[in-house]
Structure 1
Amino acid sequence: MRINVTSVLVDDQDKALRFYTEILKFTEKTNVPLGKFRWLTVVSPEDPDGTELLLEPDDHPAAKSYKTALVADGIPCTSFAVDDVQAEYLRLHGLGVHFTQEPTDMGPVTTAVFDDTCGNLIQIAQAARA
């Protein structure tokens, strides 16, 4: 068994696609119309056949309250691995991305947390170097 697709709930698929491709540098993988919304996924350019991130509409009533509660408590909805948190923080901050947590050494990982402009907090994490 392996993870094939995971999702992040977004308030606007077009805005999310722009942020996740233009700012985070993911690659659009699937874009299939499904009525009012789309099956819209992105992947890491480092692993184009790897796990897909579904930019899923937060249209379900429970989704908005779930997202609001996570953000209010400062809890990221997901985490992305990076090789260098400080470098990625500086790159994203330079592009105007708002961080709620600057790079912080947490022992086995260094993390930072940013707002994805679509109603979510996202963590980036770098494993400690041996």
Structure 2
Amino acid sequence: MARPDPESFARDWVAAWNDHDLDAVLSHYADGIVFHSPRIAQVMETGADSITGKPDLRKYWEKALAMASGLFFELDDVLTGSDAITVLYTNHRGQKAAETFVFDEDGEISIAIAAYR
């Protein structure tokens, strides 16, 4: 596992989201990414709570961004685990959120799990 510097990663990741630059966001993720979020079912109008693969993740985020034109994240904290980074932030709705990222040997995110208060 080649985890990037946690603080630099978090700042870059949040900046990409705040710029609504989906290509920059997706540049952090492996092609075979497995992404878990309770928002997937709501946005995609399915029962799914996970997405596998960068193309499907792009479709999900394109739809989610279209529904949240005011999206903005404020970085609250960064936690470092043995093989993961968790980014704590407050979103544009004032909601606390955490995303945990597990990195592959190339330093790309292979598993991501989003959680919301």
Normalised to the residue count of structure 2, the TM-score between the two structures is 0.28
Which structure has the bigger radius of gyration? Answer: 1
Question: Which one has the bigger helix percentage?
Answer: 2
Question: Which one has the bigger strand percentage?
Answer: 1
Normalised to the residue count of structure 1, the TM-score between the two structures is 0.26
